[in-house]
Structures are given as structure tokens and as C-alpha cells.
Amino acid sequence: MRLGILSDAHGNVEAFQLALGILAQAGAELIYFLGDSVGYIPDKRVVSLLEGSNIRALKGNHDDMLVQQRATAEEDAVYRHRETFAALTNVERDFLMALPSQLEVREQGADFLFVHGSPADPLTGYVYPDSSLSDFSGVTADVVFMGHTHRPFVRRHDGKLFVNVGSCGLPRGDDLRGSACIFDVKDCDAKILRFDISRSCKCVLSRYSLSPSVTSLLSRCATYRVGNDLEG
């Protein structure tokens, strides 16, 4: 069985759909989304797609802030939560509110933990490619899947596999392609898939006037052209 895991779409619906297509091409039979369907880009369509799908979705920190309307006016100038919240239907608001902050799953004799942030802080914890994993020695899962940092990695520590799937819609770091993960349950093998989202980001920039920091990041993503990992 192959799992597809993606995270942090942040309203970039074209990039989210591209990621789903990449995972289908890689043979994913079951999809997990690790949260942050919203935030920065005031587009609700990722929420709409998740609500009407069989994707197993988690709540991210932006999803949580949005439904609770906790962003300050200064934060909202960047996050655009209020605008997105106003566009959601009641069904979509209830869907976001009801999402779990973590999932524990057992497949083919192995235990998997899915979180947005970290095992210690499922909503807001940060685990970067160079973060120490020694703090998670008490984790009982065989494999941990995370997002939130927008920077993907696959690392083994203390007999466990830790995977940050990065961001499908708003990548950060040196590689400004979108990312997702394909995981072979039988072989316990995780692969990060990178894919060109430059066209998706151009669409977002043509559609919205965003905060300077978000506009700058999307502009760099829109001009970053490197081939997809599955090509060739």
C-alpha cells in the first residue's frame, strides 16, 4: 500500500490540485493532508475540496486560528483569515472546526503518527531539517509525518522514521518547488516529491493583492523553474 501525504496549501488551490495529481501518478492509494488549508492567500477552495473528498485531513495552526478568529488586525493583514472565514459556508466552517489535531494509525503491523507541527506540539511545534530529534525519544510510533515548517526532510532516529512533507503551496528554503511525500507501507520507505508550482503561483499573484512578504515569496516561487521529480 502507498500513502500520499501533503500539507500547507495555504489557499494555493492550483498547487494543491497539482500535488494530488503528482501523488496519484506516484501510485498513492490513500491521501493524508496535514493541515493549513488556509492562511496568507484568501482562497477557500482547498477547504471546499477537502470537505467533499475522502482525504484524511488534520487541522493546522492557521485552520485553528481562522475558525476561532484569533488573529489580531496586524496578523490578519498578512494571514487574511477574516476574508477567508467570511467566504466559507457553515458546513465548511464546521468541517474545519471538527478536524483532529493528530491521527494515530496502524497499517500492516506498523504505527503511524500524523501531526501538523511536532509530536510534542501537534498544532504549532516546529521540526526543521536540522532540528534535534532527541526530544522525541518517547514517541511510540514507528513513523511520524509532519508539516508546518514548509521545509521537507526524511530522517531516521532511534529506530524511528521522521518525515516532514514540506508545503505543497507555499514552499520556503532554497528549493522553491512544492513538495509532498509518497510512502510505501510495506517497505517503510518515504520519498519526498518536488514539483514545479511556478504557474500556480503566477495565478495567485494575478488574482490577489497580498502582503509584501507573501507577494515576495510567491514571486520567487513563480520564477523558480526546476523539473518535477517524476519526470523522465
Domain boundaries, the chain: 2-222
Task: Give the pLDDT confidence of 5-63 residue by residue, as tens digits.
Answer: 999 999 999 999 999 999 999 999 999 999 999 999 999 999 999 999 999 999 999 99
Confidence of residue 95 (pLDDT cuts 50, 70, 90): very high
* pLDDT at residue 191 in the model: 98
State the first-to-last Cα distance of the chain, in angstroms, to the nearest integer: 24
Query: Which sign does the torsion angle of CA 214, 66, 128, 185 carry?
Result: negative
76 pLDDT exceeds 60?
yes
pTM metric for this prediction = 0.96
Domain 2-222, architecture per CATH = 4-Layer Sandwich (3.60)
* pLDDT at residue 225 in the model: 75
Express the helix, strand and coil content of the chain in percent, nearest 5 each. Answer: 30, 20, 45
* pLDDT at residue 227 in the model: 67
Confidence of residue 232 (pLDDT cuts 50, 70, 90): very low
* pLDDT at residue 226 in the model: 73
189 pLDDT exceeds 90?
yes
Task: Give the pLDDT confidence of 101-159 residue by residue, as tens digits.
Answer: 999 999 888 899 999 999 999 999 999 999 999 989 889 999 999 999 999 999 999 99
* pLDDT at residue 77 in the model: 97
Query: Which sign does the torsion angle of CA 154, 15, 172, 150 carry?
Result: negative
229 pLDDT exceeds 80?
no
CB 40 within 8 A of CB 15: no
CB 81 within 8 A of CB 38: yes
221 pLDDT exceeds 70?
yes
195 pLDDT exceeds 80?
yes
231 pLDDT exceeds 60?
no
C-alpha dihedral, 168 to 170 to 173 to 178, nearest 10°: 30
Read off the pLDDT of each residue in 68-93 and give the average, rounded to a whole number.
97
* pLDDT at residue 230 in the model: 60
